[in-house]
Amino acid sequence: MTEAYIKLGEIATYINGYAFKPKDRGTEGLPIIRIQDLTGNSKDKGFYKGKYPSKIEINNGDILISWSASLAVYVWNSGKALLNQHIFKVLFDKKEINRDYFVYAVQFSLNKMKQLTHGATMKHVMKKDFENVLIPYPSLTEQRIIAYTLDKLKESMSKRLRELKKLDELIKARFVEMFGDPRGNNFKWKQTSIKESCTLKSGKSLSSNIEKERGDIPYIKVKDMNSSKNTPYITTSSKFVKIENVKKQILPAGTVIFPKRGGAIGTNKKRLTKLSICADLNIMGVIPNIEKLNSQYLFAYFNTIDLKTLNNGSSVPQINNKDIEPLSISLPPLSLQNEFANFVQQVDKSKFENIVYLNKTLSSKILSQIGDVIRD
């Protein structure tokens, strides 16, 4: 047990990356690492061939902290590269600390750092504020124990996530096995359009006053869909609104929903509702005609579609009814669709244990164990 704390600035020196200009980015030399290259959202790798300050060079094992636009800590393991601005490289030159523990401790402090952000357009943390953030500083032995404990939890989470991925792949494989490739209709099923077999309904943007009123109908925003990433279903909500305020926008159980505006279109945020909900204006709902389509079959069909390809090309990416309605969908016998839904239900039982575990041990909760271990 320890009550010791230390400021981040007392542990290490934080070296900011170099402000590379667009003209510096080429196709040869060392990779230029930006925040999007760390988050996996980069589509255009840039390279620099020329002289550079040695302090911005990064190598395997270096710890990097993004402090602008997004706050996160990373362990770099992709070879020699050059660091762009808005990212710190950590140089451990002041106090002795276990590096694995340091990474967890910084992750543990990220919520605190978010309260220190500045800027209207690009949120960032001032270096002096960052360096003044306190983290628990137990003995090296305790640090190793904490890091080891959290490593084991991460391994367990990764194993569960791999199992979930395999089960999701099993569902996709079963869909193709039973119904063929939906884009080619190689089983020669009767075809219909989404317009002919479904009802499309957008959500509703509510005033802040209405949002604050406690009601009985779950109100779902795009961010709520992201928080349920370990399950494809919407089964509850953190916000409920009064039914009289959303009567015309209610989406029944069995509706396929997905973001229809902004960058979220390109993400895998398709969900199937398991209860009646109201959705935000930025969400589209596809309600199946139950005499033609099983909702689980419709959901599996939409999981074969890359919604980005439907973007109508406006300055703000968005999908409208006219982009969805012409989509062609096969109409296999309803009995066969129901058989597929029963298969999914059985797979979901296998997924449930993993989902419960993951929901109990998401990163924020795992990281809180830093404090628990220290207090034990």
Quick count: other Cβ atoms within 10 Å of Cβ 17?
23
Cα–Cα distance between 173 and 74 in angstroms, integer? 34
Instruction: Grade residue 39 by pLDDT with cuts at 50, 70 and 90.
Output: confident
Highest mean pLDDT among 317-321, 362-366, 368-372: 317-321
**What's the CATH number where 83 sits?**
3.90.220.20
97 and 217 housed in the same domain: no
112 and 35 housed in the same domain: yes
Q: What is the pLDDT of residue 359?
A: 64
Of residues 269 and 41, more confidence is placed in: 269
Cα–Cα distance between 30 and 373 in angstroms, integer? 41
H helices present in 218-333, as ranges: 222-227, 295-302, 321-324
100 and 200 housed in the same domain: no
Q: How many CA atoms lie within 13 A of 244 on its CB side?
A: 2
Q: Does residue 133 lie in a domain region? A: yes
Q: Does residue 148 lie in a domain region? A: no
Number of domains in the chain: 2
Q: What is the pLDDT of residue 30?
A: 96
Residue 120: pLDDT above 50? no
Beta strands 117-118 and 72-75 are unpaired
What is the pTM assigned to this prediction?
0.71
Which domain-ending residue is among 116, 137, 158?
137
Q: What is the pLDDT of residue 123?
A: 60
Which domain-ending residue is among 291, 314, 331?
331
DSSP string, 298-318: HHHHHTT--GGGG----SS-B
pLDDT tens track for 216-257: 999 998 888 876 556 899 988 888 988 888 888 899 999 999
Domain that holds residue 102: 5-137
222 and 131 housed in the same domain: no
197 and 324 housed in the same domain: yes
